Amino acid sequence: MRPNFISTFSMATDQAGKLGMGKNHKMVCVYGNYQVVHFNKLPMVVTVIATNTANTGLLMDMDKEISALVSQLTHVVDI
């Protein structure tokens, strides 16, 4: 079953964009036992789920590696 927080990312990023601070590139959500980091790589969104003790800064620093991977995937996957 797909968690609801994954499907609501687009709505949350649209609302965050209305704050007038520019386009939202990353979003971090922290729950009781885990944290979720979303990377906005349109037309794809990459979601990383980790324990609540994981280093959030290191997760967010994965952005460059994820960007390289997503750019390769968008050429292969027809979205």
Q: What residue ranges do the domains of the chain occupy? A: 4-76
- Count of all residues that appear for the chain in the document: 79
Q: Residue 50: exposed, middle, or buried by beta-carbon count in 10 A (0-12, 13-18, 19+)?
A: middle
Global pTM exceeds 0.75: yes
- Does position 47 have pLDDT exceeding 80, yes or no? yes
CATH architecture entry for 4-76 = 2-Layer Sandwich (3.30)
β-bridge mates for residue 26, sequence order: 39
Reported as a single tens digit per residue, the pLDDT across 54-72 is 999 999 999 989 998 998 8
Average pLDDT over residues 4-25: 76
